[in-house]
Chains A and B, each alone.
Chain A
Amino acid sequence: MLAEVGTIVVGLALAVALYAACAAFWGIRRADSCWALSARNGVHTTTGLLGLALLALLVAFLGDQFQIQYVAQHSSIALPLYLKVSSVWAGQEGSLLLWSFLQALFTSLVVARPSDRTRSLVPWATVFLCLVTAFFTAVTLFLSSPFFQLGMMPPDGQGLNPLLRHPGMIFHPPALYLGYVGLSVPFAFALAALVTRQVRGWPGAVRRWTLAAWLFLGLGLLLGARWAYDVLGWGGYWGWDPVENAGLLPWFTVTALLHSAVMQERRGGFRVWNLLLAVFSFTLVLFGTFTTRSGLIQSVHAFARSNLGPYFLTAIVLTLAGSLALVYSRRSILVNSRPVEGLFSRDGMFFLALILFLTLTVSVLIGSVLPTITEALTGQRYEAGPDWFDRVTGPQFAALVLVIGVCPLLGSTASAMRRLRSRGLPGLLGAALLTAGAALAGFTQWVSLVGFAIIGLAGATTLAEYVRDVAARSRGPAGENPLRALWSLFGRNRRKYGGYLVHTGVILMALGIVGTRMYALETELVLSSGKPVPVADYTLVFEELGGEPADDHLSTWASLAVYRNGDYLTRLEPRMDQYVGFDQTVALPALHSSLREDLYLVLAGWSENGAIATFKVFVNPLASFLWFGGLVFLVGGAVAVWPSAREERVPAPQARRRMLGTNVGLVVGLLVVVAAGVAMWGWGAGFGIEARSAGRPLTGQPAPDFTLDLLDGSTLALADLRGQVVVINFWATWCPPCEDEMPDLQVSWSEYQAEGVVFVGIAFDDEEAAVQKMISRFGLTYPMALDVGGNISAAYGITGVPETFVVDAQGNVAHVHIGPVSVQELRDELESLLEE
Chain B
Amino acid sequence: MTGRTKFVFAGLLIAAAVTYLIVSSTGSTAHYFLTIEELRAMGDDAYGRNITVSGAVLGDTIAYDSSSPRVTFTVVQVPGDPEEVERGGGLAAVLHAAVNDLGAPRLEVVYNDVKPDLLQHEAQAIIRGQLGEDGRFYADEVLLKCPTRYEEDVPGQSGGA
Contacts and interface: CB of A to CB of B under 8 A. Distances in A.
B117 A584 contact: yes
A192 to B, nearest CB: 29
A366 B33 CA distance: 15
A382 interface: yes
A304 B151 contact: yes
Interface centre among B66, B91, B115 (most CB of A within 10 A): B66
Interface in A295-317: 295-296, 298-301, 303-306
Nearest to A309: B82
A605 B115 contact: yes
A70 B21 CA distance: 45
Contact of A387 (B15, B29, B52): B29
Interface in A515-530: 524, 526
A73 B158 CA distance: 11
A70 B33 contact: no
A611 to B, nearest CB: 12
A248 B14 CA distance: 21
A585 B126 CA distance: 19
A352 B143 CA distance: 37
B66 A614 contact: yes
Given A380-B32, A388-B29, A616-B114, A305 B66 contact: no
Contact of A586 (B66, B117, B150): B117
A342 B150 CA distance: 53
Contact of A363 (B22, B64, B117, B141): B22
Given A295-B85, A300-B143, A352 B152 contact: no
A372 to B, nearest CB: 10
Contact of A343 (B10, B18, B31, B149): B10
B10 A352 contact: yes
Contact of B25 (A233, A301, A348, A392): A392
B147 interface: yes
B147 A355 contact: no
Given A343-B10, A602-B114, A384 B152 contact: no
Interface in A599-624: 602, 604-607, 612, 614, 616
Interface residues of B, number: 53
A383 B33 contact: yes
Interface in A576-603: 582-587, 602
Given A351-B7, A352-B10, A381 B18 contact: no
Contacts of B118: 584
Nearest to B120: A583
B33 A604 contact: no
B67 A382 contact: no
A605 B82 contact: no
B3 interface: yes
Contacts of B17: 395
Contacts of A348: 7, 10
B145 interface: yes
B70 to A, nearest CB: 10
Interface in B1-56: 3-4, 6-7, 10-11, 14-15, 17-18, 21-22, 25-26, 28-34, 52, 54
A387 B21 CA distance: 12
Contact of B30 (A69, A304, A370): A370
B82 A296 contact: yes
A304 B150 contact: yes
Interface centre among B4, B29, B128, B158 (most CB of A within 10 A): B29
B101 to A, nearest CB: 21
B90 interface: yes
DSSP class of A's interface residues: helix, strand, loop or mixed? mixed
Given A300-B143, A582-B149, A605-B69, A382 B30 contact: yes
B80 interface: yes
Interface in B111-138: 113-115, 117-118, 120, 126, 128
Contacts of A303: 150-151
Nearest to B59: A583
A524 B114 contact: yes
B66 A604 contact: yes
B29 A524 contact: no
Contacts of A362: 18
B108 interface: no
B144 interface: yes
Given A304-B91, A340-B4, A526 B69 contact: yes
B26 A370 contact: yes
B60 interface: no
A131 B150 CA distance: 30
Interface centre among B22, B64, B147 (most CB of A within 10 A): B22
A340 B26 contact: no
Interface centre among A300, A526, A612 (most CB of B within 10 A): A300
B75 to A, nearest CB: 14
A612 B114 contact: no
Given A300-B126, A342-B6, A92 B26 contact: no
A359 interface: yes
A306 B153 contact: yes
Nearest to B18: A359
Given A340-B4, A385-B128, A605-B66, A374 B29 contact: no
Contact of A524 (B26, B52, B113, B158): B113
B78 to A, nearest CB: 11
Interface in A358-391: 359, 362-363, 366, 370-371, 374, 380-385, 387-388, 391
Contacts of A351: 7, 10-11
A383 B52 contact: yes
Given A359-B18, A374-B26, A524 B69 contact: yes
Nearest to A300: B143
Contacts of A374: 26, 30
B3 A382 contact: no
A230 to B, nearest CB: 15
B30 A385 contact: yes
Contacts of B117: 163, 233, 584-587
A210 B57 CA distance: 45
A50 B25 CA distance: 47
Contacts of B115: 604-605
Interface centre among B66, B86, B117 (most CB of A within 10 A): B117
A311 to B, nearest CB: 15
A351 B14 CA distance: 12
A340 B3 CA distance: 6
Contacts of A298: 54, 126
The list of the 8 closest CB pairs from A to B, nearest first, reads A605-B66, A304-B151, A604-B114, A381-B33, A383-B33, A382-B30, A387-B29, A359-B18
Given A363-B21, A392-B21, 20 more contacts: A70-B152, A233-B117, A295-B85, A295-B86, A298-B54, A304-B90, A304-B147, A304-B151, A340-B3, A384-B30, A385-B52, A391-B29, A524-B113, A526-B68, A526-B69, A584-B118, A605-B69, A606-B66, A607-B66, A614-B69
23 contacts: A69-B152, A73-B152, A158-B158, A294-B82, A296-B82, A300-B144, A304-B90, A304-B151, A348-B7, A351-B10, A352-B14, A363-B22, A381-B34, A381-B80, A382-B30, A382-B33, A383-B30, A383-B31, A383-B52, A385-B31, A388-B29, A604-B69, A606-B66
Interface of A: 69-70, 73, 91-93, 158, 161, 163, 233, 294-296, 298-301, 303-306, 339-343, 348, 351-352, 355-356, 359, 362-363, 366, 370-371, 374, 380-385, 387-388, 391-392, 395-396, 399, 524, 526, 582-587, 602, 604-607, 612, 614, 616
